[in-house]
Amino acid sequence: MEHKIDISIVVPLFNEVESLPELFAWIKRVMDEYHYSFEVVFIDDGSKDGSWKVVQELGAEYPQAVGIKFQRNYGKSAALQKGFEAVKGDVVITMDADLQDSPDEIPELYRMIMEEDFDVVSGWKKKRYDPITKTIPTKLYNWAARRITGIKLHDFNCGLKAYKNVVVKSIEVYGDMHRYIPPLAKYAGFNNIGEKVVQHQARKYGVTKFGLNRFLNGPLDLMTVAFMGRFGKKPMHFFGAIGTLMFFIGFLITLYMIVDKLFIDSTGRLLAERTEFFIALAFMIIGSQFFLGGFIAEMVGRSSEARNNYLVEETLNVD
């Protein structure tokens, strides 16, 4: 009989050789204090500094240390997805490997999931030890994410989060979507999303692994997750609506020009000599393209193997 695990802790890592022994010892101390059964799933995202050797040493000494090593660097989202596939605990905690997330927060996160029945609890690093060049863009990004997703979180990108096991088994994290796991959970039907103020530790070892490209990729990924959540299974509702509206505007302009030509305008100008003609033509052509784009998207979706991957919570009297 498989031993029940209370908490699975997923730790993506990339070149964090100095911090891993200290992090695991800290986690184990907290878990032992609260008598939780646990596993720590280390996902080595193609490290080149000996991090995997440390994971192997931890695994040889402690059965709670689990490791998965990528052949090359794929990114944090890929690491989290692999970790989510491997976890067995009732509650899943994600945290970074750089010691900026405190394992002392885990018991309260676990309690909020188990006792307050949250589906997701996201950490909020209210007081951050980051330079102003990072904090100001982060505030703008979080404001935009709240407006677009409708989820009232202060810190979408905090690595310290807690989930019910069923949540991480029901979502797919890809690209750079690790920033938007709460919206992914919401669009999968898990709406009870909470927040907890957590302590932000100053980085003790190494350097940050994220560059300036996150300021461009973040907003683009936000638009992607918002669109896929609302229109992923019905793209025609988006493209078709825009295309129909634009075509209708072009048609109305064309109708106006015809009436004006027949009954009002006495100059004898040809329709093709009027500016309105080209505006109407552009609206009708672009509108047709949007409509056809939605139609093609529907055809692609119809042939996709994932077109009917609806999440079933439970059944009754079903064979």
Kindly report, residue by residue over 140-170, the tens digit of the pLDDT. Answer: 888 888 888 889 999 888 889 999 999 999 9
Q: Is the same domain home to 143 and 257?
A: no
- Can you give the residue range of the structural domain that contains 286? 235-303
Q: Is the same domain home to 27 and 137?
A: yes
What is d(CA 251, CA 273) in angstroms, rounded to the nearest whole number? Answer: 17
Whether 243 is in a domain gets the answer: yes
Query: How many domains, the chain?
Result: 2
Please give the radius of gyration of the chain, using alpha carbons only, rounded to the nearest integer: 26
Kindly state the average pLDDT of the residues 119-125: 93
Residue 309 confidence (pLDDT) above 60:
no
Whether 310 is in a domain gets the answer: no
How is residue 54 written in tokens? 């440390």
How high is the pLDDT of residue 213?
A: 63
For residue 297, the Cα-to-chain-centroid distance in whole angstroms is: 22
Percent of the chain with pLDDT over 90: 50
Instruction: Report the DSSP beta bridge partners of residue 219.
Output: none
Q: Is the same domain home to 182 and 249?
A: no
How high is the pLDDT of residue 21?
A: 94
Q: Is the same domain home to 98 and 197?
A: yes
- Number of Cβ within 10 Å of residue 108's Cβ equals 13
Last-in-domain residue among 172, 202, 231: 231
How high is the pLDDT of residue 230?
A: 75
What is d(CA 38, CA 32) in angstroms, rounded to the nearest whole number? Answer: 9
The reported pTM is 0.76
